[in-house]
Amino acid sequence: MKFEEKTLSSKQIYKGNLTEYVVESVELPNGKVSTREIVRHPGAVAVMPFTPDGKMIFVEQFRKPIEKTIIEIPAGKIDDTDSNPHETGLRELKEETGYHASVFELVKTFYTTPGFTDEVIHLYRASELEKREELTLDEDEFLDIKVLTFEEAWKAYEDEQIVDAKTIMALLYWKIERLAAE
């Protein structure tokens, strides 16, 4: 590869429940040596759940790293109980919204911030929803459900209530879908 960096050494600095922090010494394409600080992440799934009347289900929750309550699409990390991202997405949809989707399609897989992390998100479109049960949130998870029209969601984005990349990507996908339907 043209710009490949060869790993010379790798040292784990910290391993938590969600992420691992690694410092690597790398040989650059020009032969010089540099340091890379990397956050390892197991990956995540995000879901765009569409109701029969064309609205989307969001969750509102506080995010400590930015000290703000924001509106997001349902999402969660891939864990050891899941055999694949599709299964993770169905589980997260059920846990965070209580819904099951009869139609569950992969839209796009993307890296969140490849400059310092290997976190990947698998974005799914869910439809033909059926409310099956109450929420089964983690004991440290607190959220409210928001069912929004496109206009309401776009206003939340303009008002900086929607600020995360996965939800902004979902909004842009929704906008493209709407334009294609015209």
So what's the pLDDT on residue 129?
95
Q: Exactly one of 139, 151, 158, 182 is catalytic; name it.
A: 139
**Percentage above 70 pLDDT, the chain:** 99
So what's the pLDDT on residue 114?
95
Summarised one tens digit per residue, pLDDT across range 48-81 is: 999 999 999 999 999 999 999 999 999 999 988 8
- For the chain, what is the mean pLDDT? 94
Residue partners of 46: CB distance under 8 A and separation at least 6: 73, 74, 75, 89, 121, 122, 123, 124, 166, 167, 170
This prediction's pTM: 0.91
Bridge partner list, 47? 124
Average pLDDT over residues 118-141: 87
So what's the pLDDT on residue 80?
85
CATH fold of 44-110+126-181: Nucleoside Triphosphate Pyrophosphohydrolase (3.90.79)
Domain borders along the chain are 6-40, 44-110+126-181
Summarised one tens digit per residue, pLDDT across range 72-97 is: 999 999 988 888 999 999 999 999 99
So what's the pLDDT on residue 99?
93
Helix, strand, or coil here: 163?
coil
139 in active site: yes
Helix, strand, or coil here: 167?
helix
pLDDT band at 134 (very low <50, low <70, confident <90, very high): confident
- Phi, psi for 32 (deg, rounded to 5): -75, 165
Residue 137 has pLDDT above 80, yes or no: no
Residues 40, 137: Cα–Cα separation, whole Å: 25
